[in-house]
């Protein structure tokens, strides 16, 4: 694998919360390993577009600040203790019990509020990467899952035959997905619209 886990995690941790949201949502899609993966980027494409508009100067803000204002007006005083509490739980939790959607929802929520809790994100990143590597949450006892894998293998073989390409393996595909993740626009220059808090325990 071209990129080590540590590098990827460091990369994750250096991103802004909004970018984290984008990456993690993409990871979820990648985990499902369909060629149409990154499907969840649909919802994030608006963010990307917004950022492009901001960059071009046609728009002054993505409006995310108003979200934080609303949140803090509504129950800002309990938001921080709540997230600290949840983060502590997640830090000590066995994440293998969490489904991909649970992890994605959690990170989405953290990202939405712009909360970066390094422990949580590191743990979830590790888990998400593990899921990406195995490419599918295959239950070895579920015939339907195995059937789907076989079917995918057969289709890949057919496609290879048609194109006459030499061996495009699942590993290649994973590497491609991970490479694609790393090549997604970083947009560090637009961090002004995102306020992210880093809790210290």
Partner 1 sequence: MSGAERSKRAKTKLTRSFRSAQLSNTAWALVTLRNKRIMITIADTNSPPPSLSEFEKAEDENIRRAIRVVIEVFKPTDAKPQELSNLVWALASSRFGEESESDFIALHSLMDKVALAAMSQLYKFQPQGESQFNIHYSTPKNANAGAEINNMAWAFARLNHPHPPLFEKIAEHFKKHVNTFSAQDISATVWSFATLKFGDLGMFESAAKMVTEKSVQNFKPQECSNILWSFATMNCLPISLKILDREENEIAAKIKISMDILDKRDNNNNNNNVFVNAYAAIANELIKRPYAFKDQELKDVLWSFSKACFRHPTMFRATGTHLLERTVASFSPQCMSNMVWAFAKVNERSERAL
In this chain, which stretch among 68-76, 154-162, 178-186, 188-196 interacts with partner 1, using CB under 8 A? Answer: 68-76
Q: What string marks each residue from 89 to 128 as x (binds partner 1 by CB under 8 A) or -?
A: xx--x---xxx-xxx-xx-xxx-xx---------------
For residue 187, give Cα distances in angstroms to 105, 116, 184, 196.
22, 17, 9, 15
Query: In this structure, what token pair is assigned to residue 138?
Result: 């295959």
3-state secondary structure of 35: coil
The reply to whether 142 sits near partner 1 by the rule CB under 8 A is: no
Q: Nearest distance from residue 103's CB to partner 1, in Å? A: 7
d(CA 16, CA 11): 10
Query: In this structure, what token pair is assigned to residue 77?
Result: 């005083």
> Which CB, 20 or 103, lies closer to partner 1?
103
Query: In this structure, what token pair is assigned to residue 113?
Result: 């509020």
First and final C-alpha spacing in the chain = 34
Q: Nearest distance from residue 81's CB to partner 1, in Å? A: 6
Residue ranges binding partner 1 (CB under 8 A): 63-64, 66-67, 69-71, 73-75, 78-79, 81-82, 85-86, 89-90, 93, 97-99, 101-103, 105-106, 108-110, 112-113
């Amino acid at each position: 694998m071209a990129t080590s886990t540590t590098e990827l995690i460091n990369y994750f941790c250096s991103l802004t919360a909004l970018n984290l949201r984008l990456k993690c949502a993409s990871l979820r899609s990648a985990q499902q390993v369909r060629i149409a993966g990154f499907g969840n980027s649909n919802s994030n494409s608006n963010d990307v577009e917004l950022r492009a508009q901001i960059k071009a100067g046609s728009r002054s803000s993505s409006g995310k600040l108003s979200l934080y204002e609303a949140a803090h007006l509504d129950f800002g005083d309990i938001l921080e203790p709540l997230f600290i509490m949840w983060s502590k739980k997640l830090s000590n939790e066995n994440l293998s019990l969490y489904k991909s959607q649970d992890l994605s929802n959690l990170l989405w929520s953290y990202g939405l509020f712009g909360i970066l809790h390094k422990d949580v994100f590191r743990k979830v990143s590790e888990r998400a990467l593990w899921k990406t590597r195995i490419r599918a949450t295959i239950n070895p006892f579920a015939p339907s899952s195995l059937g789907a894998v076989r079917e995918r293998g057969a289709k890949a073989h057919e496609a290879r035959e048609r194109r006459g390409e030499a061996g495009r393996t699942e590993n290649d595909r994973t590497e491609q997905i991970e490479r694609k993740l790393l090549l997604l626009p970083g947009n560090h220059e637009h961090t002004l619209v995102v306020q992210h808090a880093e809790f210290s325990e």
